[in-house]
Amino acid sequence: MAISNRYDFVFLFDVKDGNPNGDPDAGNLPRIDAETGQGLTTDVSIKRKIRNFVQMTRKGEKGKEIFVKSKELSGEETVLNRIIRESYEQLGIDLNADVDSDGKKRDKTNKGKAQGSEIAKGRAFICDNFFDVRAFGAVMSTGSNAGQVRGSVQITFARSIDPIVVSEHSLTVSAARMEEKTYEEQVGIQGRKFTVPYGLYMAHGFVSAHLAEQTGFDDDDMALLLEALTNMFEHDRSAARGEMTTRGLYLFKHESKLGNAQAHSLFDRIQVSRKSEGVARSFDDYAVTVNDDNLPAGVSLQRVVG
């Protein structure tokens, strides 16, 4: 059964000597707000890490498959149209039949594509089997066509509390690869690496009970989402990302589906401030203040992390 409560959450994480989210349009420099100097991490980057965590920890579990898989983890290329087509095959729906499952003549110009109630059946099947579709939604109107799903979980860009400084490092190569070239031609400075010495980032999240009714996002999925946000950096280590850690996860639960208070008024209860002037180089340089006094009627606060 889908969740029956609205949720809003505040998510804090930090990075030390790493690049939390490179910008391919800027030579993979850490993303930055050009006007304020604050660092940015996209919602897509955060969702990728959530997907990867679920893919690693729930492999083979019914209903916990990942639609947009990572090739790094699975070793296989993800072709979404193939997944959609195979879903109809598992449902026993022949999309090349002259007559569709509703008994209507199939449009010959769209052989191999679902039509009528077949689309709803395909969409429901994929929602049942893929966690990330239930959570984040998906465009599945290509290929065999399973329509579109709007996700029940939405996450904002994460923005650093303070402006960030980007450090540039030269990379050197000490081993030659090609026999036809001299050793001297192949060693030495071969590239650049960009890191943030330290940055504390904050993102906001929203979970809609009404959209969850359409996708089937349930309490078990909600618990898995929180588990992923708590632990996903522990399984996402790389030389490029340095040290990344979840520092805070504050969950506001509403008694009703529509919610009992505006999200921004709840988010304002989580304040992050600097303990002292100077250069911040660790989480200890910040103080997180949580105001849980006199919460609006029908709203409760759970400190998942922090």
> What is the rounded distance in angstroms from the CA atom of residue 76 to the CA atom of residue 95?
26
Q: Radius of gyration over alpha carbons of the chain, in Å?
A: 23
Q: What is the pLDDT of residue 18?
A: 97
Residue 2 lies in a domain: no
Say how many domains are in the chain: 1
Model pLDDT for residues 135-149, shown as the tens digit of each residue: 999 999 999 999 999
Task: Say which range, 24-38, 96-110, 236-250, 273-287, has the weakest mean pLDDT.
Answer: 96-110
Residue 124 lies in a domain: yes
CB 170 within 8 A of CB 192: yes
Residue 231 lies in a domain: yes
Residue 37 lies in a domain: yes
Does the global pTM surpass 0.75? yes
25, 54, 204, 217 alpha-carbon torsion, rounded to 10°: 120
Tell me which H or E stretch contains 289: strand 286-290
Domain with 135, as residue range(s), is 7-305
Q: What is the pLDDT of residue 189?
A: 66
Q: What is the pLDDT of residue 152?
A: 97
Q: Strand, coil or helix: what is 7? A: strand
Q: What is the pLDDT of residue 171?
A: 84
Model pLDDT for residues 150-194, shown as the tens digit of each residue: 999 999 999 999 999 999 998 888 888 888 888 888 887 677 899
Residue 1 lies in a domain: no
**Average of per-residue pLDDT across 30-40:** 97
Residue 235 lies in a domain: yes
CB 80 within 8 A of CB 87: no
Q: What is the pLDDT of residue 29?
A: 95
Q: What percent of the chain is modeled with pLDDT above 90?
A: 83
